[in-house]
Amino acid sequence: MKRVLPNRHLTQRLGFTAITLMAVLTVIPIVAVVIYIFLQGLPAISTEFLTGFPHDGMRAGGILPAIIGTMYLTVGTAIFSVPLGIAAAIYLSEYASDTPLTRTIRIAIINLAGIPSVVYGLFGLGLFVIFLNFGTSILAASLTLSIMTLPVIISTAEEALRSVPQAFRTVSISLGATRWQTIRRIVLKEALPGILTGVILGLERAAGETAPILFTGAAFFLPRLPQSPFDATMALPYHLFVISTQVPEMPIQIQYGTALVLLVFVLTMNLIATVIRSRARAKRQW
């Protein structure tokens, strides 16, 4: 007996070390990627880089149109996906019972989440660009990105709504509020931080995506900013793809600078989401 015990504790110690090592090996590259891009990209950042147009075949100048374009696309995506996604989440959490139809909706959402981004691009090309005749435009790209973002928003918003205690609803209804009043004034209000976190994380993904906008709205180079939702636009992720694969003799510093701006864009959204979530958790009284 005495010889067995130390052995299993040794196994445990070895095992814990191995697992810890794996976790560390998973996380280090993430941190390294972020730090590396910051170090390499920072020297490229200047006022001209952030506010100027590219010139000399994109080998000089700034990336303003790509920054603005990504902002347009993110806002466009939010306009369509946020109301629709939150409404769908309200339906699933507050109205739907466990019927075959509801289960079909859930399977559909899981499937939407799994469809490859480039397939979304094909779909957007088929439906928005060609069938509805929007052309390669901010509108078509935003709609494509919205549908891709929808499952993220629906599932996180539903989770946030469900975490509001049932008693809140019962009390509100018993005070004479209607169902919708209860949802709007009580449930939505309590679930807001959770919903916001999900929305931002969803939009963060949309902002960084390239494949869905390849054939629906992204432009290689534009001499001016887009004027209407029916114009094509430059976008940071697509621009990074273009200058790192399609343009020969591209100065490396501009490439890293573009990667850094994209990374900061995405990281800022991620940070905001994380802060909202941890603040809400700390403040929660139920």
Taking CB under 8 A as the criterion, which residues in 259-278 touch other proteins? 259, 262-263, 266-267, 269-270, 274
Site for other proteins in 164-223 (CB under 8 A): 178-180, 201, 204-205, 207-211, 214-215
Verify binding: residue 66, other proteins, rule CB under 8 A: no
For residue 233, the SS3 value is strand
- Angle in degrees, 0-180, between the axes of helices 236-245 and 252-283, rounded to the nearest 10: 150
Size of the site for other proteins (CB under 8 A): 88
Site for other proteins in 227-256 (CB under 8 A): 237-238, 240-241, 244-245, 252, 255
Distance CA 278, CA 189 (A): 17
CB of 274 to other proteins, least distance (A): 5
CB of 47 to other proteins, least distance (A): 23
Closer residue to other proteins in complex, CB, 116/227:
116
Contact 239, 66 (CB under 8 A): yes
Distance CA 254, CA 60 (A): 8
CB of 109 to other proteins, least distance (A): 5
CB of 237 to other proteins, least distance (A): 5
CB of 104 to other proteins, least distance (A): 6
Site for other proteins in 69-128 (CB under 8 A): 83-84, 87-88, 90-92, 95-96, 104-123, 125-127
Distance CA 51, CA 67 (A): 9
Contact 247, 54 (CB under 8 A): no
Closer residue to other proteins in complex, CB, 11/163:
11
Site for other proteins in 12-41 (CB under 8 A): 12, 15-16, 18-20, 22-23, 25-27, 29-31, 33-34, 36-37
**What are the backbone dihedrals phi and psi of residue 150, each rounded to the nearest 5 degrees, phi first?**
-50, -50
Q: 266: which residues sit within 8 A by CB, 6+ positions away?
A: 204, 207, 208
Structure tokens at 133: 């005749």
Report the candidate in 85, 69, 49 with the shortest Cα–Cα distance to residue 207: 69
Helices (H) and strands (E) in the chain, counts: 11, 2
CB of 154 to other proteins, least distance (A): 7
Closer residue to other proteins in complex, CB, 35/75:
35
CB of 64 to other proteins, least distance (A): 19
Residue 46 Cα to chain centre, angstroms: 27
* Other CB atoms within 10 A of residue 68 CB: 16
Closer residue to other proteins in complex, CB, 30/227:
30
